[in-house]
Structures are given as structure tokens and as C-alpha cells.
Amino acid sequence: MGVEICVEGLTKSFGHQVIWQDVSLTLPAGEVSVMLGPSGTGKSVFLKTLVGLLKPERGSIKVAGRDITKLREHDLYEVRKLFGVLFQDGALFGSMNLYDNIAFPLREHTRKSESQIRRIVLEKMDMVGLIGAEGKLPGEISGGMRKRAGLARALVLDPEIILFDEPDSGLDPVRVAYLNQLIVDLNAQIDATFLIVTHDIASARQVPDNIGLLFRRELVMFGPREKLLTSDEPVVRQFLNGRMQGPIGMAEEKDAAQVEQELAQLGDGGDTTTPGSQELPSRLLPGPGITRPPRWEAIARREAELHRKEVAGA
């Protein structure tokens, strides 16, 4: 079972540059959450801060009730064992075959025998669909296979929290679809807490239970998937619809007058949706033979209630 992460008033700077400030959110135990935001808004910095690789200027991060911002290095090391991380490129060792790459954390951090390690490695490789590729080197396989190998390595210590740093980067849409299904299936199987940083809107619409959006050095919104996907917030609608009109500019944030003019033009017929009318897309379900966690029923009821309200207000 995953553990809850409670973030309160978190602020991170590099010198005089504020990356984001006063970020507060709770990642519910066992659920899948996605963090969105334009490039340069500090999404990857947020992941590194959660796992204790970067220290914030202010705020707290409570993991299983312990504030990691106040822990000594030895205690922080113990808390990090709760985490598994899938980096953008898989972060595999090029000179090691996939089996040894995936076995590496077990050999480094446990005293398990090679027979025990073999059982665990093959189990995780089977979970991500890599059985038969044990002897291949990272340079001999596709980007999608490298992502899956990195995910298998993140799973070998049975983490209760898994962080995904842009898992879709460098993948074509078909491989992204396969990876999304794998993420949903794994979450149903191991019930760990997942946090995914991504730019992929299709993934954000289909995969998570919760969505957050970072913009202008703050967390604009964080909450249940259906709340953000039907939000009237201009920056949320702009990002989810992938359009130019709105607060997000090419390099800098736009001034308020320009944003107001663009949004007014959208209101004159340039927008295909009206506030609050966005249709809630269907979510990905676990594959055949994989039991849905009990929390899915509550989420389904919540989304059905939202749909009934939309129909009643139409």
C-alpha cells in the first residue's frame, strides 16, 4: 500500500531566482497524481525536492508522517527507501545488460542471495513485459524498452511511492499509450502512490486520479482529475487545450491586458468550449485479469455525480 505525502508551504529558490513558492498539496496514498506545467516551471525540481535530493528554503514535506526537510542524512536515507524513481532516459548503465541494471539496487542496498535477486528481477521484468530481454544492452533496445527497464529497476525494492519524471519523453504516441496502460496496471497491482511529471495532455486526461498545474512560480490548482479537466481557470483551460490564447506565452508570461483581449476574442466564437462545459474524457482501466483497487469505485461515483450535475445544468 502506498503512503501519503503532505506538502505544506513549500518554497524553492536557486540564488535570487524563485522556482516556486508556498506550494501545498496532499498526494493521497495509493493514488496516481500528475503534475503539469509549461517548460521551466520547476516540475522536475519538485520531484527532486520530494525525495530529498534538493532542500527547500521553506515548508515541510511529510512522508509517512515524517518531515523529510528536517531529517538527518541517515534518517533521510531510510525514508528514501520508500521511493522508486523513473528518470526521463531510464538512467540505465550502458555497460550492463538489462538483468544487471535491474538487479543493481538489490545488490547495492540489500543482502539478498543471487537466487533471491534472480526471482525478484524476473518478477519485475515480467510485470513490465521484458522477459526474454535479460541479456540485451541498453544501446540495443528501443526507447520504450529502456523506459520499461528503468521502471522495473524502480520496482525491485518494492517502493511505496514511485516518481515518474516525464516518462513519455522521446516516445512516439503508440509507445506512450502502451506505457500509460502499464502505469495504470502497475498501480492497480501494487497500490503504490504514483506522481507523474508530464507534458502529455492525453496522458493527463486518461491516467491520473489527481492533477496539479504549476505556473508563475506557484501551484495554480491541485485536485481530483475531474475538477481540473472541467475547470474554468484560464491557464488550466489553455494548457489542457494546447492553444496560444491565454496567460502562457512563448518565453515569458503575457501581460494582463493581452490575456484579457485574447480571452475576450475566444468568447466571441474562437473557443470550442464554454466555461464549465468541457466533457470529461474516459479514464484508462486496468487490463484484463487485473482487479481494480477499491478506491476506484469511489472515484467512479464522484465522476458520475459530476456528469449528472453537468447534464442537469445543461
Inform me whether the pLDDT recorded for 68 exceeds 60.
Answer: yes
Say which amino acid occupies 110. T
Helices and strands of the chain, counted as H and E runs: 11, 10
Structural domain spans, the chain: 5-225, 243-270
In which band, very low, low, confident or very high, does the pLDDT at 4 lie, cut at 50, 70 and 90? very high
The type of residue at 187 is N
What is the structure's pLDDT at 294?
76
Query: 41-50, 94-103, 289-298: lowest mean pLDDT where?
Result: 289-298
Largest CA distance in the chain: 68
Q: How many angstroms separate the first and last alpha carbons of the chain?
A: 40
Supply the pLDDT for residue 269.
43
Q: What is the mean pLDDT of the chain?
A: 87
From 168-177, 232-241, 296-305, the region with the lowest mean pLDDT:
296-305
Q: What is the mean pLDDT of residues 57-62?
A: 96
pTM above the 0.75 mark? Answer: yes
Grid cell at residue 132? 526474454
270 pLDDT more than 50 = no
Kindly report the backbone phi and psi dihedral angles of residue 134, in degrees, each rounded to the nearest multiple of 5, phi listed first: -55, -40
Q: Helices 173-190 and 143-155, interaxial angle, to 10°? A: 10
pLDDT at 258: 54
Question: With 70 as the cut, is the pLDDT of residue 235 above it?
Answer: yes
112 CB-side CA count, 13 A:
18
Cα gap 235→214, rounded to integer Å: 10
Cell numbers of 120, please? 525478484
- Each residue of 6-54: pLDDT tens digit? 999 999 999 999 999 999 999 999 999 999 988 888 999 999 999 999 9
Question: Architecture of domain 5-225 in CATH?
Answer: 3-Layer(aba) Sandwich (3.40)
Q: What average pLDDT score do residues 207-219 get?
A: 94
Q: What average pLDDT does range 136-162 have in this prediction?
A: 94
Cα gap 145→275, rounded to integer Å:
41
Mean pLDDT over 107-122 rounds to 95
Check: CB of residue 228 under 8 Å from CB of residue 306: no
